[in-house]
Structure 1
Amino acid sequence: ERDIQARRKQAGAKNPVFTPSAVEAIALQSRGLPRVINTLATTCLVYGYQLKKDASDEEVVRMAADEMGY
């Protein structure tokens, strides 16, 4: 969660871009590996944007993880 929040702040986002359940799902899917966290989070942002979501949720994480083969 720390990595995701730090990147969000660095990008200048004022509102959360992931729901709490999405952050938990990213942590589980990535097994805590920083590179996987970043790749999965980026893919989630793309899916969330395409689906016009204010914040990526657990469903978006599942879709991204499936595409990435996790």
Structure 2
Amino acid sequence: MKKLKLFYFIIAVSLFTSCDSDGDITGSDPGDIVVDFTFTNDGNLFTFTNLSQNATSYRWDFGDLYF
């Protein structure tokens, strides 16, 4: 189940990164928000590193939040 949640998270983050008409990743203009992160897996421990740029707030949703 945890792998499925991670898969959905990666899909959600990938929706924020897209290509423009010439194939460049958006975010190349100053002030554009660039969504980027890395993660490592050590058994049951996942470590995420935020490499995003120009964002003013963050929300990490692993699919276990209730509204």
Larger Cα-atom Rg? 2
Query: Counting strand residues as a fraction of each chain, which structure ranks higher?
Result: 2
Q: TM-score, normalising length from structure 1?
A: 0.27
Structure with greater proportional helix content: 1
Structure with more relative contact order (C-alpha pairs < 8 Å, separation 6 or more): 1
TM-score of the superposition, structure 2-length normalised? 0.28
